[in-house]
Amino acid sequence: MARSPVWASRPKTRGLVLDVIRAARTISRVELAAATGLTGATISEVVRELLGDGLVVEVGRGAPTGGKPRTLVQLNPPARYGVGVQLERNACVIVVVDLAGRPVARTSFHGVASMPPERALPLVASQVDALLTTAAVDREKVLGVGLVSYGPQDRRAGVLLTPQPTGEWCDYPVARRLSEHLGLPVLLDNDAAAAAIGEYWMGAVDPRSTYGCIYMATGIGGGVVVAGEVYRGSSSNTAEIGHVSIDVHGEECTCGNVGCLENYAGPSAVVRQASATPALARRLALDPANEDFLTEFSRIAAAANAGDPEARELVERSARYLGHAAVTLAVLFDLDVVVLAGQSFTVAGSIYQAVIQEQLDRRLFARRAHPVRVVPSVNGSDAAAIGGAVLVLQSELTLGRGRAADEPQSVPAGADEALDHPPSARARSTGE
């Protein structure tokens, strides 16, 4: 795994500076000092490290402010990469993203659900290897792999705590085994939490905000981000809104609860309801035996978008249930934004967005204090996979979990002019 040749003795300070540079896109050293509250000497020292490691680059001068224009810095996207692997119940999506979180390569395949983990994980590893080779990504620059999947899970131990897709996956050390196959660190995390943090890294939300993510692929999950960090709770199994009960007299769910939201509003529930509507099932040629119910759900969503009244009613019913969940999530965490992410929202997002927004506008406890916006994910159907890769970047680069190293040499404190025009920078720009 790629590591910076020099890690600051204060890695969280380094991470803070790097994260501010990422969020600002381009910024001067003086602006960095103002944004972080760090001294000019510390900023000069950390930026010099980041330049030396290739994580940031100087990109010219800013507009004059009465003195000499200040030198600007920004992230160097090809300096590091993260890999995201989304392990769904019947599919796998793999993405490679650069330091800015932008996808540079992608692949997907089916069949994982039919395999035991001993067969599935070597296949996933071979696909990751092939994708890195095809994209011509230097493996030394790959920080690791974010393996994201449904819950419940033990994130620290790297195991799934559910017998899905089969009982063989429950308690299996998926993170450790995949890491052994790849020779790279593997971080296991929740797909909804990953999708949520991807929005932050891509600059799609206010970094100071508290926002929630409703994630819908084959199931329904949720995540909450506070000031750029996922709210974890005691075991990182937070905001699992798909398994919040909306009917205390409902049927028992496989999770052990009763009346779970997922069994009323999830894609499989919509497909089941459509299959029980004979005329609609015939029109859409639905196959109740098809285990890939996302394909069947896509047909229903397309028909709803095209104006089919029965399909529209089913999708809107699902959206109303999700609106109820969004209100609950927003009340619990006093959210600013709700992001809709995942494959199922990609095909029917406009309907869900409108209905959920209407529910929040009408029913939210704090609606007179501030509005809550409902927005689609900027990462589309690959939000969880991209978020998984971003979690690796964030963990290694901005949360201060890199390798400790020698104490860097200190830089004397100086005025703003010296801060934004250090001797080393002037020498590089003039060829001295």
Q: What is the pLDDT of residue 113?
A: 74
Percent of the residues in the chain that have a pLDDT greater than 70, as a whole number: 89
* pTM of the predicted protein model: 0.85
CB 165 within 8 A of CB 112: yes
Q: Under CATH, which number does the domain 11-75+402-430 receive?
A: 1.10.10.10
Q: Which residues of 343-355 are buried (b: 16+ CB within 10 A; e: fewer)?
A: bbbbbbbebbbeb
Model pLDDT for residues 228-256, shown as the tens digit of each residue: 889 988 888 889 999 999 999 999 998 89
Q: Which residue has the higher pLDDT, 400 or 23?
A: 23
Homologous superfamily (CATH) of 205-376 is: ATPase, nucleotide binding domain (3.30.420.40)
Homologous superfamily (CATH) of 80-196+385-397 is: ATPase, nucleotide binding domain (3.30.420.40)
- Structural domain boundaries of the chain? 11-75+402-430, 80-196+385-397, 205-376
Question: Do 80-196+385-397 and 205-376 agree at the fold level?
Answer: yes
Average pLDDT of the chain, as a whole number: 87
Average pLDDT over residues 284-299: 87
Q: What is the pLDDT of residue 66?
A: 61
Please give the structure tokens belonging to residue 427.
Answer: 């020498």
Q: What is the pLDDT of residue 201?
A: 86
Q: Determine which of 40-49, 134-143, 191-200, 399-408 has the lowest per-residue pLDDT on average.
A: 399-408
Average pLDDT over residues 388-417: 56
